[in-house]
Amino acid sequence: MKNNKPVTFSGIQPSGELHIGNYLGAISQWVDMQGNYSCIFCIVDYHAITVRQDPKKLNKNIREIAKIYLALGIDPKKSVIFQQSSINEHTELAWILNCIARISDLNKMTQFKDKADKNQEKVTVGLYDYPVLMAADILLYNTDQVPVGKDQSQHVELSRTLAKRFNKRFGQTFRIPGLKLRKQGANIMGLDNPEKKMSKSAESKNNYIALTDAPEIAVKKIKKAVTDSGSEIKYDPKNKKAISNLLTIYSILDNKPINNLEKKYKNSNYGKFKDDLAQIVQNFLKEFQAKYNRINDKQVDQVLENGADKIRPIAKQTIQRVKSKIGIN
Ligand code: ATP
Ligand code: LTN
């Protein structure tokens, strides 16, 4: 990891199935950043246990997420892929940051409010503290850029706040990370409800296309997707939310600017547009799934182990620096 490239860090929880929103908003940016950044991509298993998990499924999901990263184009020769719990310094730094973070900071977190609201009985202290662990993940590696979807902006902002507060109190220690959002695609909306983001915890499976969906199921989901009134295929996210969302998905998957697509479908109706989009999604899934199925567990274990070994020294250095600043060394 010794080069002069800026550092990028991001992660995804090994909980449930990933969908094309996760790819378009987050992972597709990671793939593009690999040449220009020192990239570190994490499987955040300690974040996953902030809600109840079946231990067997969790263990399987950790490997599955690693396979998904690899099959989507994260190259272990260029990027580090690792499991959060294999580097102890994540939880160690989270504890120290807990003593910097204020209850008033965490009370502002909208994702906690949304999740706690749905689940009053079962909300854990871990779920409340989740953004502090995320700040530790980011700050441990002197991260410059955090590529995520829009729903994670507030959490990245908190990591900036904590870094600045720590630096102010104890002297320059942490690099201040930047948020990296896609210009288009940072907030892919649900196929059945374009008012709300595509989410794996949505009530209906028609809300999202999972990366593991059989291609013919994905085609049905596209055909069922809600459309706007009128028939024009035009990018207008205020007044035509549904078609703008479908145009965004099309544009990123097929690598074509949205205005080219508007021109292409100037005289077409929603039916033709959806048929073509369904074909593109189907091709994307087929290619992804073929790659995914070729990766075996042994390969994955090796990638995760090598990844952790490569970056552990950076984590150790940071925690030493932090502990000495606060007087514990
Ligand atoms: P949940 O709905 O259960 O919270 P999720 O589907 O939102 O889960 P996460 O695992 O929280 O997914 O997100 C993983 C990454 O994908 C994050 O960087 C997140 O910002 C991004 N992401 C999630 N949903 C979308 C979306 N609809 N559009 C763009 N990016 C997204
Ligand atoms: N909260 C993120 C996952 C996450 C993360 C991180 C993302 C945990 N630690 C550090 C970027 C950087 C989510 O997608 N739900």
pTM: 0.96
Active site annotation includes 266: no
Contacting residues for 241 by C-beta, under 8 A, at least 6 apart: 189, 194, 195, 228
Question: Which of 79, 71, 83, 21 minimizes the C-alpha distance to 47?
Answer: 83
CATH superfamily ID and name for 213-292? Tyrosyl-Transfer RNA Synthetase (1.10.240.10)
43 and 83 Cβ atoms separated by less than 8 Å: yes
Q: pLDDT at position 9, please?
A: 98
**Residue 200 or residue 185, greater confidence:** 185
**Proportion of the chain above pLDDT 90, given as a percent:** 92
Distance 93 CA to ligand 1 centre (A): 24
What is the spatial distance between Cα 209 and Cα 217, in angstroms, rounded to a whole number? 9
Of ligand 1's atoms, which has the minimum distance to the CA of residue 197?
Answer: 27
Catalytic-labelled residue, pool 150, 200, 205, 310: 200
Mean of per-residue pLDDT scores for the chain: 96
Contacting residues for 329 by C-beta, under 8 A, at least 6 apart: 320, 323
Integer angstrom CA distances of residue 256 from 21, 166, 260: 18, 44, 7
Domain 7-186+297-326 has CATH 1.10.3720.10: no
199 and 207 Cβ atoms separated by less than 8 Å: yes
Active site annotation includes 197: yes
Quick one: how far is CA 57 from the chain centroid?
A: 20
pLDDT, one tens digit per residue, over 50-70 is 999 999 999 999 999 999 999
Q: Name which residue sits closest to atom 11 of ligand 2, judged by CA.
A: 10
Question: Looking only at Cα atoms, what is the longest distance across the chain?
Answer: 70
Residue 131 near ligand 2, beta carbon < 6 Å: no
Q: Which ligand is nearest to the CA of 182?
A: 1
Residue 11 near ligand 2, beta carbon < 6 Å: yes
Domain chopping of the chain, boundaries: 7-186+297-326, 213-292
Distance 115 CA to ligand 1 centre (A): 13
Q: Is the pLDDT of residue 172 over 90?
A: yes
Q: Which two tokens stand for residue 294?
A: 């070729």
What is the spatial distance between Cα 46 and Cα 196, in angstroms, rounded to a whole number? 27
Active site annotation includes 115: yes
Q: What DSSP line would sit under 20-34, residue for residue?
A: HHHIIIIIHHHHHHT
Question: Which of 321, 318, 5 minimizes the C-alpha distance to 135?
Answer: 318
Q: Which ligand is nearest to the CA of 184?
A: 1
Residue 159 near ligand 2, beta carbon < 6 Å: no
